[in-house]
Amino acid sequence: MKIIDLSWILKDWIEYYPWDPKTEIKNVETIEQSWWNMKRLKINSHDWTHVNVPIHSKILWKTLDDYNINDFIWKSVLYKNLDDIKNWIGLIFDDIDISFGIAEKIVKIKPKFVWLSDKFEFNIEVEKYLLENDIISFERLINTDKLPKNFIFHWAPLKIEKWDGSPIRAYAII
């Protein structure tokens, strides 16, 4: 068994869009002050390696806490062509972006989820179309070039009530 880490490391220096609040990590306690080290994290739900769930683009739709922990471990395949899109199999895009034509096929077949490597950013119309059709999506995964064709994808979001997404820790078992 081999594990491939697919997550960016959280740091407080990155900014995705100028209109989004910047991630902030700061010390709130130190051993010298109070015998403990403790940090405070301010982060947006769609920063870093993260999951998007349907309420991100549609009012009164599935939130993060509507998903069961069993949804966080799933068989997955690396996308090379349209034949790789299978019902209830996770679909990973490493070296190609998701066009609207591919998104239409995804919605028709209903894979468990889709995700993009950190080489791409979702086209807004494609992302909305997938989410509004109940397709979970992931963004900014690294090391996707190290993945074999088939593997098991694991991801763990924070368990936050009514959220539209979450930074995640993601990895593959091969």
Q: What is the pLDDT of residue 106?
A: 98
Burial class (CB in 10 A: 0-12, 13-18, 19+), 74: middle
Amino acid 15: pLDDT: 64
pLDDT for res 115: 93
- Tens-level pLDDT at each residue, the chain (174 residues): 999 999 999 887 666 677 888 888 999 999 999 999 999 998 889 888 999 999 999 888 899 999 999 999 999 999 999 999 999 999 999 999 999 999 999 999 999 999 999 999 899 999 999 999 999 999 999 999 999 999 999 999 988 899 999 999 999 999
Determine the pLDDT at residue 13.
Answer: 66
Tokens of 3: 């594990």
Nearest CA to 164 out of 123, 133, 124, 136 is that of 136
Domains of the chain: 3-11+45-173 (3.50.30.50)
pTM comes to 0.89
Q: What is the pLDDT of residue 14?
A: 66
Could you tell me where the DSSP H helices lie in 9-62? 31-34
Q: What is the pLDDT of residue 10?
A: 86
Cite the DSSP H helix spans in the chain: 31-34, 100-109, 124-132
Please state, as a whole number, how many other Cβ atoms lie within 10 Å of the Cβ of residue 96.
14
